[in-house]
Structure 1
Amino acid sequence: MTAIIDLLSSDIVQTVLIGAALLGAISGMLGAFAVLRRQSLLGDALSHAALPGVCLGFLIAGGRDLGSVMAGAFGTGALAALIMMLIVRRTTLKTDAALGIVLSVFFAVGIVLLTVIQTQGGSGSLGLMTFLFGQAAAILRSDLWVMGGIGLAAILLVLAFWKEFKLVSFDTAFARAQGFPVTALEAVLTVMVALAIVVGLQLVGVVLMVALLIAPAAAARQWTKSLGGMVVVSAAIGATSGAGGALVSATTRGLATGPVVVLIATGIVMVSLLIAPGRGLIWQAAATQRARARISDGRVLATLQGFAQMHDDAGYPSERGMLQIALGAKPPAATLASLESRGLIRSVTHPPETTPHWELTKAGHTEAAALSGEPETRQHTK
């Protein structure tokens, strides 16, 4: 415990921790809109398109100035988004083709510029590689103000256009029919995604940024049914992943913060896919099993009720062989035991036969009638 407290008292660890949490929260919040608009690959394309902007910002500033680098990354990211929109609207190419073209071309330009800068020498050029794979230790206190300002701007933008963003995210056609400027709103949402990417370049880099943008939103989608809840939960998961990754990286020698953050976020996605109430795979498997059990129970009850109606005897005892012929298969013992434990059928003897027989109880007749939608069978007593 003392070692952890001493570690957290370090200025470097505090800076990385706050920066990672800020990035996770911003990425989670804005990534929710990208996931709902089915634009996960857009984040991948914009993150790769930011690399030439990073290099141009370095060249213009004459060094590794975070403000210039982020401005350049945002500029090329926004340009890439505009080009993708033009390709889709002005040509016959589909969105996936436009994304592939823009991603590969911009990333190739970025690699060329990065190579040119490194061949020129200088210690500052070495820091540009951190924007490719991320280097959290390079974050400064002054960088937190830039990240915080971008995050605050994104939050204010979301709050100001909440209703419009909500409508565009779920039903673009209806929004257009209602006269909303759909193209402008989509452009603003795309710019916001670019903002999230710009904020995360230094921590997780170009390559891994898309994972931090999408993973928290994908996990949050499993836990909530409302947009507001999804945005909040996604931001919380992103912040938790960022802070957790920073702590793990700080306490374990040799682990880079960015990849650890992404792995934690991915782990949360996997857990969410498995156990999220109502949508998790385990819950869905249990629901499927319950549905099958209800179908099996209903078939047995309907068959027993049919025999009772045929013999005009609500307490008519049916033998297992009769049920097997009527159902086309032997009724599972677990189904009969479940129905008996719930008081819907009861086991009876039918001399001189020695094989087990079952008859519907009054509750069983009521349940069978409810399942079939028919009037309840007349109750007779022997």
Structure 2
Amino acid sequence: MLALLGDYTVQNVLLGATLLGVVSGLLGSFAVLRQQSLMGDALSHAALPGVCIGFLITGTRHLGWIMAGALTTSVIAALFVQLVVRYSRIKTDAGLGIALSVSFALGVMLLTWIQGMPNASQGGLDTFLFGQAAATRRQDLWFMGGVTLLAVLLVMGLWKQLKLVTFDPLFAGSIGLPVVRLESILTAMIALAVVVGLQMVGVVLMTAMVIAPAAAARQWVSRLEHMILLSMFMGVISGVVGVLFSATVPHLATGPVVVLAASALVAVSLLLAPGRGMLWSWFALWRERRAIGQRQMLTTLYKLAQHHNDPHYPVERSMLDSFYGVATDPILRRLHERGFIAPASHMRVEGRHWALTDAGYSEAEKVLEQLGMATEESA
């Protein structure tokens, strides 16, 4: 592993993946919270014609010009979506679909035309579709670092405004904030994140890097600042793990592995995150079902006791089985362990009987009181 980290190419790719994780985690958080996950997909596909235009301007694969072209076409696509949604009856998802398909078709057309040109420097331009992390150079890292620093400074400088526009744009507009301008800035910054990732993971896979770390972080925290920090950390972890794994296994593309690492974090978060994870939800549902069964049993025993004017009226287990249509032994056993019921010696030939204890009688009264209050509130 130390020998691997000493490799010049691996060092460049690791630094690039770290910068990508930071900027995608930072800006992807806003996209996820604003329910604009498809925006990242549209902007990443809209970057392809910009890549081709940047090459046509310089005639070489100059990363600065290519990224500038990608940023320009991504921002134009984002502004197109905003204008179409605001001034027509087309919905946001339809506008994003139009921008994605038209821009990507234009990009593929330009890419095909460029590849037919008698220019040797156009070779490998199609790697921007899926990324070519191994081609990352030290001067490329300076550009990626500058873009990442710009995004961080913009978010820090407009933190309160961006936070308010993200959660309550109507209130932000009512107090005089330029909502449209701030939303345009956010969209442009998401385009910045897309531009940073073109070299690493490419046009097609970049949307996953914008969305996956933020979606995973959202499962663990409930505050925006915590979500952003965790999302940036998960983005960095995804990049580092993907780079090291692809560097260890021969002929394994780095970009897809990075995306798969980020997707694995999403899967783990969806399963295990406290409070929101599926396993926690299933466990909470199982506990609630158990509690409901116990409360129903207590109220049944209580009503029978009330009907017979005996707080410790013994009830046969087989009668309870017939009443509920299921075996009630597990519920009765748990109630007995909690001290709410006790075995009763009554007509042994008929089977085992159970009766409420004083604690069980009091608990049943509390349950019925809570049910009564809930019924009154719903009424």
Band the TM-score falls in, shorter-chain normalisation: over 0.9
- Does 1:38 find its partner at 2:50? no
- Does 1:345 find its partner at 2:341? yes
Conserved? CA contact 1:64–1:127, under 8 Å: no
- Does 1:63 find its partner at 2:60? yes
Conserved? CA contact 1:50–1:206, under 8 Å: yes
Question: What one-letter code is carried by the residue in structure 1 that aligns with 2:103?
Answer: F
- Does 1:369 find its partner at 2:365? yes
Q: Residue 375 of structure 2 corresponds to which residue in structure 1? A: none
From 287, 294, 318, the equivalent of 1:297 is 294
CA distance in 1, matches of 2:77, 2:304: 71
Q: Residue 223 of structure 1: SS of its match in structure 2?
A: coil
CA distance in 1, matches of 2:103, 2:327: 64
From 117, 138, 155, the equivalent of 2:114 is 117
Conserved? CA contact 1:321–1:330, under 8 Å: no
Alignment map for 1:204-223 (pairs within 5 Å): 204-223=201-220
TM-score relative to the length of structure 1: 0.94
CA distance in 2, matches of 1:371, 1:155: 53
Deviation string for 1:244-270 (max 9, x for gaps)? 100001111000000000011111111
- Does 1:307 find its partner at 2:301? no
Conserved? CA contact 2:13–2:136, under 8 Å: yes
CA apart distance, 1:352: 5.6
Q: Residue 201 of structure 1 corresponds to which residue in structure 2? A: 198
Question: What one-letter code is carried by the residue in structure 1 that aligns with 2:339?
Answer: G
Deviation string for 1:29-82 (max 9, x for gaps)? 111110111111111111111111111111112211111111111001100111
Percent same amino acid at aligned positions? 54
Q: Give the gaps of 5 or more residues in structure 1.
A: 376-382
Q: Residue 283 of structure 1 corresponds to which residue in structure 2? A: 280
Alignment map for 1:1-382 (pairs within 5 Å): 4-324=1-321, 327-330=323-326, 332-351=328-347, 353-373=349-369
Q: Residue 355 of structure 2: SS of its match in structure 1?
A: strand
CA distance in 1, matches of 2:113, 2:326: 76
Question: What one-letter code is carried by the residue in structure 1 that aligns with 2:195?
Answer: V
CA distance in 2, matches of 1:175, 1:250: 47
Q: Residue 123 of structure 2: SS of its match in structure 1?
A: helix
Q: Is the deviation greater in 61-70 or in 256-265?
A: 61-70
Q: Is the deviation greater in 136-145 or in 162-171?
A: 162-171
**Aligned residue pairs, count:** 371
Q: Give the gaps of 5 or more residues in structure 2.
A: 372-379
Q: Residue 344 of structure 2: SS of its match in structure 1?
A: strand
Conserved? CA contact 2:318–2:351, under 8 Å: no
Question: What one-letter code is carried by the residue in structure 2 that aligns with 1:212?
Answer: M
Q: Residue 379 of structure 1 corresponds to which residue in structure 2? A: none
Q: Residue 378 of structure 1 corresponds to which residue in structure 2? A: none
Deviation string for 1:113-144 (max 9, x for gaps)? 11222111333211311211100011001111
CA distance in 1, matches of 2:347, 2:79: 84
Q: Residue 309 of structure 2: SS of its match in structure 1?
A: coil
Question: What one-letter code is carried by the residue in structure 1 that aligns with 2:179?
Answer: V
Deviation string for 1:222-243 (max 9, x for gaps)? 1111111111111111100001
Over 3 Å counting, the alpha-carbon distance change for 1:352 and 1:135 in structure 2 is closer
Deviation string for 1:318-341 (max 9, x for gaps)? 11244346x443452111111111
Over 3 Å counting, the alpha-carbon distance change for 1:308 and 1:75 in structure 2 is same
CA distance in 1, matches of 2:355, 2:72: 77
Conserved? CA contact 1:22–1:148, under 8 Å: yes
Over 3 Å counting, the alpha-carbon distance change for 1:374 and 1:60 in structure 2 is closer
Over 3 Å counting, the alpha-carbon distance change for 1:374 and 1:208 in structure 2 is closer
Q: Is the deviation greater in 358-367 or in 291-300?
A: 358-367
CA distance in 2, matches of 1:352, 1:81: 79
